[in-house]
Amino acid sequence: MHPFRTKARLDGRCRVCGQPVPPERAGLGICGNPVCQTRATIEAASAEVKRKAEERDAAEAKGLARVSHVIEATAAQAGEPDLDRIATGVVPHITLTEVPQEEEQLERFETNLGRAIAEALGEEEAPEWLQTEAEGDPDFVQRAEHQQGDPLSLDAACIACRGDCCMQGNGRDAFINMRTIQWYLRQNPEAGKEEIRQDYLSRLPEAHIERSCVYHTNTGCALPREMRADVCNRWECRWRDALRGEIRRKGAARSAVVGLPRDHDDHPEEGGPRIRAVAIDEHSRVAINDGFRAGPLK
C-alpha cells in the first residue's frame, strides 16, 4: 500500500501519489495527474462492483433462508435427506404464463430465418464449405460438444427456473443466424432452403411464454437441441454453474433445486410467493412440486 494512502484525506495529499492536492481539488483527495485520476476511477468502479456483489449476496442469503425448509423436503423426496450428500441450489423462477404467438414477432422471426438461410446457402444448394470436414472447424467441434446436453441433476436448475435466460430470445429471433443454419446443414446436407425453412416454422408452438422467445413454452424449448442456436445450448448462468460445482464437490447423482421469483421480497409475509421445487433421484427421475410457499422474509 502507498504510504500516503491512509492519511491522504487528512493531510491534503493525493491518496494515490502522495503529492499535494491543489486547493480546487481538495475535496476530491486526488491531484490533477491523469494517472492518479484514472487509478481513482478504477478504484471507485471496483468498490461499486464490490458493493453491488455484497448487496446481491445478502439478498440471496435472505432468499435461501426463506426456502431452506423446501430444500430439505425436496432433498428427502429425491431420496437423500443428508444435504451434505445431495446437490442443492436456489435459482430465479419466472412466473409468466403462455400466451398466443404475436403476429408481428412471428413475421420478424420469419424474415430473420429467411436471411440466415440465404446467408448460409448463398446461391448454391450445395455450398463449397459443406464439402469440407466439420472436424476441421473448431466452432463446429465445440457445437457438437454443447449439443450433447447434461445430466438431469444439473438440468434441474433450468426446470426450476422455467427459462429466465430464454427471455433474452425475445427480440433476437431465437438467436438463429447463419452459423445455426450451417450447423443444421452439417446434419442434413441434402436439405434445401424451403425444407429448412419449413422445418423451423413447423416447430413453432401456437403459444409461448409471454415476452419471451418464440420457441419458449411451459415445457421448455420447442426446438430440439440440434436445431437451436449454439448459445442456447452452451450458455450457463451463475446459478446453474453453482449447481454444477455442488455436483462436482459432492459427487452427487441427486439434486434438489428451488426456483424463487426475483420479486419475492415484494411479498415478505409467511406463505408469500409460490415457488417451484425440483427433485432428481439417483435414477434421474424428475419430481416437480409447484405447491410450496416461501417462509417469511427476515
**What residue numbers bound the domain in which 138 lies?**
99-151+166-234
Do residue 23 and residue 140 come from a single domain? Answer: no
Q: pLDDT higher for 123 or 20? A: 20
Q: Give the whole-number percent of the chain exceeding pLDDT 90.
A: 70
At 124 the pLDDT is 64
146: pLDDT confidence band, cut at 50, 70 and 90?
Answer: confident
Last-in-domain residue among 234, 249, 268: 234
Over residues 157-176, the mean pLDDT reads 95
Q: Verify that 106 and 37 share a domain, yes or no.
A: no
Residue with cell 444448394: 125
Domain end marker among 216, 234, 252: 234
Which amino acid does the sequence have at 282?
E
pLDDT band for 1, please (50, 70, 90 cuts).
very low
Q: Are residues 32 and 110 in the same domain?
A: no
Residue reference for cell 435427506: 81
* Same domain as 223, residue 134: yes
Domain membership flag for residue 202: yes
How many structural domains comprise the chain?
2
| 82 occurs within a structural domain | no
